[in-house]
Copies of this chain bind each other. A is one copy, B any other.
Amino acid sequence: MNFMQALGAAWRERNSLLCVGLDPDPAKFPAHLQSRPDAIFEFCAGIVDATADLVCCFKPQIAYFAAHRAEDQLEALIDHIHARHPATPVILDAKRGDIGSTAEQYASEAFERFKADAITVNPYMGRDSVEPYLAHEGKGVILLCRTSNPGGSDLQFLEISGSGGKKLYEHVASLVAREWNASGQCALVVGATFPAEIARVRELAGEMPLLVPGIGAQGGDIEATVHAGCDTGAAGLMINSSRAILYAGGGEDFAAAARRVAQETRDTINRYR
């Protein structure tokens, strides 16, 4: 699967900019799943099967699997998505960042072992820390740009000398758009809590897709996000919601409850496109 083509097709054919983030926290699972040996897989597969026709992509967050020694369940989950929902691209949210030879190992982990279609990457170590991911043709490489957490400003909001007042996150957006994205594989992460900054990144990034976490549990405003971030085709966004969808219901109907919230979220997004 070519990530960018699959994403574009999902935007059009599903009429959805919604990305469901798979951050499985066993403490929040419904009681009937708690004792199952593959509870993480079963919970996530339930969410996936209930929402796949409503989303443009899924985004499993690897830390939630790794902390529970559940890499095998993450492999099974991504296999399941590819088998049952072959048109739905999978972003491995890993935020890796390391130099050449080690980055090659991380790229192998993401694309060969887990078979993800895209990965999130941290830009702090610069271009040669990103190239090993780009070497995997057709895979998406989604660079952290402006993050939605309070400490996101500590570095990202520093103003760069001689740049005409650009902040670090703006510099990252320009650098990726102008230099790192020659093969068209790149996208950027921009938090939904800062619509003015989404607009600024859109201005600098041209038509590059933006992955926008921070709606739902983190409180970002959907209308402002859509107005600020869509590309010229009223698409261009992967608007992520995790907890608000995953834990919409607490019982055996958790998947149906997740579907209801996913549908509402997709429809709310579409209302403002």
Contact = CB atoms under 8 A, between A and B. Distances in A.
B95 A96 contact: yes
A155 interface: yes
A271 interface: no
Given A64-B102, A98-B63, A172-B155, A124 B126 contact: no
Interface residues of A, number: 53
A252 to B, nearest CB: 25
Interface string A150-180: 1111111011111001001001100100000
Given A124-B122, A154-B126, A154-B175, A105 B147 contact: no
A168 B155 contact: yes
A69 B105 contact: no
A100 B171 CA distance: 25
A66 B105 contact: yes
Contact of A124 (B100, B108, B156): B156
A175 B61 CA distance: 28
Count the copies. Answer: 2
A202 B172 CA distance: 27
A125 B151 contact: yes
Contact of A123 (B113, B155, B175): B155
Contacts of A71: 66, 69, 71
A99 B21 CA distance: 14
A131 to B, nearest CB: 8
Nearest to A148: B99
8 contacts: A71-B71, A97-B144, A99-B149, A124-B147, A125-B147, A126-B155, A127-B151, A129-B149
Interface of A: 23, 61, 63-64, 66-67, 69, 71, 95-103, 105-106, 108-109, 112-113, 122-130, 144, 147-156, 158-162, 165, 168, 171-172, 175
Query: What 5 pairs across the A-B complex have the smallest Cβ distances?
Result: A126-B151, A126-B154, A63-B105, A128-B151, A127-B151
